[in-house]
Structures are given as structure tokens and as C-alpha cells.
Amino acid sequence: MTHETRTAFPARAARTGAHRVVVVGGGVLGASTAAHLARAGARVDLVTEAEVASGASGRSLSWLNSAGARSDAYHRLRTVGIDRYRTFATRTGLDDRVRFDGGLTWAAPGESHRERHAHELSTGYDSVWLARDEVAAWAPGVDVTAVAEEGAVFNPGEGWVDLPLLVDALLEQVRAAGGEVHTGTGRARPVLTGGRANGVATASGRAFTADAVVWATGPWVPRDLAELGVHLPQSSPVSLLLETQRVEHPLRAVLNTPRVAIRPTPRGTFVLDSGWSEQEVVVHDDGDHEVRGSTVAGLLDEASRVLVGNPRLEAVRRGVGPKPVPGDGEPVVGELREVPGLHVLFTHSGATLGLVLGEFTAREVLEERVPLLEPFRPERFTTAR
């Protein structure tokens, strides 16, 4: 499906703060930050090692949610992040790339989601308890015989985003506002003068000067900061995402079941992941990843089992590699005290927070600190160390 993207976010004159910014990272966080900076009038260069959305953003389930229990501050940030997607989809006309058809989950045998549902209600999160025989009406496309006997939780306000398509749309906005996108530059490193970040050097030999640098290299952020003497704890596991062939099927909601998570795509395919299949990925000493055929077949079978009609599924694409997860599970956002001028973005919830963290980071680079980000500063780790 093609769209004529509406000019929804007109460019503005640059305000105070940095006027020339280099953003490192071609995933959703880098693209979003670059788009917000460019709209605000900054001169932006986005630099990425390979192609855009070729890392964690290209292998994300991309479920938009704030389900379950988490800190109040994190829940608030995620709900603001979801709100930004609704605005984006409406103003740009890209509602094929961002959908809000709800999310459905049920517990594994021997477990229960009753407490989760009660917690969600206590925070005002839209949460509906469904008996098994009610599931089909709320989430068409689910084989109700696979649902837990106790029932399931349906969250009507949840949705999904296709991150590679979103990144493309954001980078169109960057270019339209006069920014530049540089792909295939090889690994980048910040350039410091007097302890302050004022540019980026790349393995390809290209160098970029800047008033500020934004670092959004996904799971590689801790590695990159360690070279500057900054310790950032991480617990980044391997992610494995499968995409199926095109399937004519009524499922529209995101499913998070005990053995498989599924979401539709704008292409009429499904993407799948799970915790158990990621644990079966073999990581070799040289960093390469091996995915066994039995793992792929098992994940496809689990997906077929929870879909009405139990369609035969085939994998046409797989993405495997580390996914960014900070040590305490919550986002790491903001300017480094140890390296002024260097702003970092490191979070597991890159899809849900993609638009809002780009917006807030741009505000901090150009104007002032954003209060909603105070609990997520990197110094919560570096100061303690």
C-alpha cells in the first residue's frame, strides 16, 4: 500500500542550544530524534553503520503497550509514548504502519493473570477480563481452544507499529527539513575536545562536527560508552524474529501467549517471537548467531496453534541479534555528566518510546531538560559506581 504523506509537522526556526547535531544510529530512536531536531530547525546529520533499521528496530515485535507492573514513572512515560503514536498516525495518514487493534494475553499453565489485570485497573490502564468464550468477539482470529481455561486479558488501547516503515517515514521528514542521512559509514566513535563531544568519526573515514551528539546505537550503547570510561549496566539478550509468508487471516490484535507472540504487518504477513526460541539461538565465539531449523519450525507451529483455522505458516525472513535492555530494565536517556554534549538513548521499549524519546531528546539538545526524563538519567548508574 502506498501513501501520500501529509505535511503534518512543519519546520520551525532553530531556538537556543545546539544548532548542528550528529545523531548516531539508524533505528527508530535515532530516526525519531533526527526528525524532531530537523523540524525544530537544527542542522542534522544522521550516521549509521550499515543500513537504516538493520539492527534491533528491524527485529522487534513492536508492540505498543504499558501492560503489566512497572514503576509509576516508566508507566507514565510509556502511556505518553502511545499517545504520540496516535497523533502521528492521524496527522501523517500513515495508519497502515501504526495500528491500535488491541492486545490479548493469557497465562501459562499453573499461572494466572488475575493480579496483572487488577494492577492494570488500579492504574487506569484499559484492561478487560475475558472468559474463553468471549475472546472471539474481542479479538477475531484467535483459536479459543488455545486460550487458558481461566480466561484472558484484553487491552483495547494497545497496538503495534511497523518500525522499518516508520523509520523510512521519519527519515523522509529529516531530508525534507534539510537534514542528511549517511548510511554504510561503519562504526562511529565520538570526537571529544576538552572532554566535550563535538563531533563523530567513522570507520569509513568520514568525520562530522557538531555542537552536540546523540548516541542511539541500540544494544551497542554500553560497549561504545565503555570506551569513554562510562559504565552502563546491560542485560541485553539475543532476539529472534520470524516473518511469515502472506496469510489471509482475520487476526488484527497483538497476541502475547505463553509460547509465542504474534502481530500482523502492513504486508499481510505475521511476525513472531518468544522467550524460549531466543534461548535456543546459539551464539558462537566470534559473535555469529546460529538458529536451528527445529527452533524455526517450533515457533511456526506454536503460532499456527493459537490462530483460528491453524494455518500452515512458512518463514520468509528472520532477524537475529542482541536487543537493548538496560541493567535495571528501565530507559537510559539524557546527556552524560562525564561527557558534556553527548546524549544517550538506551532502552528495551524502543517501539513504544520511539516517538516520545526522540521528541524529548531533541528538546533537551536544543532547549532544556524534560522533567519526565529525570528518573531515567544515566547518572543513576555512573554516580553509584
**pLDDT tens digit sequence for 151-207:** 999 999 999 999 999 999 999 999 999 999 999 999 999 999 999 999 999 999 999
Question: Which value, in Å, is the radius of gyration of the alpha carbons in the chain?
Answer: 21
Buried b / exposed e along 339-362 (16+ C-beta atoms within 10 A): bebbbbbbbbbbbbbbbbbbbbbb
Determine the 3-state secondary structure of 144 from DSSP: helix
* Residue the block writes with cell 558534556: 340
Task: Please give the pLDDT value at position 16.
Answer: 47
What is the reported pTM? 0.95
Interaxial angle between packed helices 72-92 and 350-366, expressed in degrees from 0 to 180 and rounded to the nearest 10? 90
Bridge partners for 290 per DSSP: 282
| CATH code of the domain occupying 103-156+237-322 | 3.30.9.10
The pLDDT of residue 3 is above 50: no
Task: Over range 357-361, report the average pLDDT.
Answer: 98
Task: Please give the pLDDT value at position 168.
Answer: 97
Task: Over range 331-340, report the average pLDDT.
Answer: 97
Task: Please give the pLDDT value at position 95.
Answer: 86
| pLDDT band at residue 341 under the 50/70/90 scheme | very high
Q: How far apart are CA 324 and CA 168, in angstroms?
A: 21
Task: Please give the pLDDT value at position 382.
Answer: 74
The pLDDT of residue 128 is above 70: yes
Q: How far apart are CA 318 and CA 241, in angstroms?
A: 6
Task: Please give the pLDDT value at position 250.
Answer: 98
Query: Who's near 189: CB < 8 A, 6+ residues apart?
Result: 200, 201, 202, 224, 227
DSSP states along 85-122: HHHHHHHH--TTTEE---EEE-PPTT---HHHHHHHHH
Question: Does this chain's domain 20-59+163-234+327-382 share its CATH topology with 103-156+237-322?
Answer: no
Q: How many residues does the chain have?
A: 385
Round the average pLDDT of the chain to a whole number and report it.
94
Task: Please give the pLDDT value at position 119.
Answer: 98
| CATH code of the domain occupying 20-59+163-234+327-382 | 3.50.50.60
Task: Please give the pLDDT value at position 94.
Answer: 86
Q: What would the grid cell of residue 216 be? A: 542511539
Of residues 44 and 6, the one with the higher pLDDT is 44
The pLDDT of residue 2 is above 50: no
Q: What would the grid cell of residue 71 be? A: 514503576
Q: pLDDT (tens digit, 9 = 90+) per residue, 207-216?
A: 999 999 999 9
The pLDDT of residue 334 is above 90: yes
- CB 236, CB 215: distance < 8 Å: no
Give the domain ranges of the chain: 20-59+163-234+327-382, 103-156+237-322
